[in-house]
Structure 1
Amino acid sequence: MVKVELIRNFPLFRNFTEKELREISEYLDYKVFSKGEVLFEEGDPGDRIFFIVKGRVDLFRPDAFGNPVKVAVSQEGTPLGELSFFSNHFHSSRAVTPKETHVLILTREGYEKLKKEDPQLAIKLLEELAKVISERLKEMNKKFVDTTCFIWGGPKK
C-alpha cells in the first residue's frame, strides 16, 4: 500500500475520486530505483505495470550487432510496461533508469485481487490506461505518416 499523496497528482488517476484513490493505493507498491538500475530486461515476463512518479526510464533494443540502442523514453507521469502486462507477453525492450526514479508498481497479483474485490475500479483503471495507449498509438501513427509522407484520406464515401 502506498500513500494517497503519491498517486493523487499522477495524470492517469486525475479522474479518480478520493475514495477510489485510497482504495487503489492498497494495490500499489512504491519503489525507488537508483541511477542505472534495470526495471526489466528484454524477454522478462510482463507481470507488472510501472507508474513513473519522478524521474524517467530509457528503453533499449539491440541493433543488428547486439549493441543497445535507445528506442524510447518514458517520462514521469506515464505508465510503463502496460502493453506486455495486458497482452501477457514478454517485454520487447530493456528498461533502465538514467537517474534516480520513483515508481508505483501494480503487480499481476495486485491487479487480479483488484478485479476480484472491486471490478468497477478495475474497469476504471483499464479505461484510463486505454486512453494512454490510444494517445501513444495516435502519436506513433502521426510519426509514421510524417516519416513516410503517407496520406490517408479516410474511408471512401
Structure 2
Amino acid sequence: MAQKRCGDVFAFLGAEEQKRLASVVTERILEQDSYLFEVGDPADEVFFLAQGRLSVQKKTGFHRKMQVVAILESGAIVGEAGLLSGHVHGVSVRAIEHSHLFRLGCQELQTLERTDSQLVIQLLKHLLLISSLRLEKTAERLAHVL
C-alpha cells in the first residue's frame, strides 16, 4: 500500500488523512534523466515527490535551449496546475536522480470531492500555501534582478 512508503510527503495532513489520501494516489518511479512531463504535455495530475530530486526547466527562446528554474527535493509538490482543467505544462520536469513520486489525477480528486470534501479542502489549502510561497520567492528573485 502506498501509505507505508509515503514518508513525510503528506506530513501536512494528520495520520488519518494521510491514509485516506494514500488510498487514492498511485506510485510513479522515475529513473535518472527521465522526464516526468515536458512542455506542452497535457496537465491533469499533481505529483508529490517522496524521494529524489527533480529539475524544473523552462524554454529560453533560443532555439531548443532550456534553463533550469528550480530544483525540487523530497517533500515537494509538482504539476499542481494539472488539477485545473484544460491546462498544458509550461515547463519540463526531469529526474536528477532516481525519484519516487505519488500521483493524484483529476479523476481521483473529483472522487475525493464527492466522498471526502474535508480532505480536499486541506489538500487545496496546502497547494495554495505552496503556490503562494513560490510566488513570493519569484518576486524576491525578480526584485534582486531589477
> Is contact 2:43–2:86 with CA below 8 Å preserved after alignment?
yes
Q: Could you give the per-residue CA deviations for residues 6-44 of structure 1, whole angstroms, max 9, x where no partner exists?
A: 33522xx33422211111111111121111111111001
| Identity among equivalent pairs (%) | 24
TM-score when normalising by structure 1: 0.84
Structure number with larger C-alpha Rg? 1
Name the structure 1 match of 2:33.
Answer: 36
* Unaligned segments of structure 1, at least 5 residues: 149-157
Name the structure 1 match of 2:131.
Answer: 133
In the comparison of the two structures, how many residue pairs are matched? 145
Moved over 6 A (4+): none
Q: Which amino acid aligns with 1:5?
A: K
Distance 2:118 2:82 in 1: 22
Q: 2:14 aligns with which of 13, 17, 25?
A: 17
Distance 1:50 1:21 in 2: 15
Q: 2:103 aligns with which of 97, 102, 105?
A: 105
* Unaligned segments of structure 2, at least 5 residues: none
Name the structure 2 match of 1:26.
Answer: 23
State yes or no: 1:7 paired with 2:19.
no
Distance 2:138 2:69 in 1: 13
Distance 1:79 1:147 in 2: 26
**Matched residue SS, 1:115:** helix
Q: Could you give the per-residue CA deviations for residues 68-110 of structure 1, whole angstroms, max 9, x where no partner exists?
A: 3222222211100002433641101111112100101111111
Name the structure 1 match of 2:91.
Answer: 93
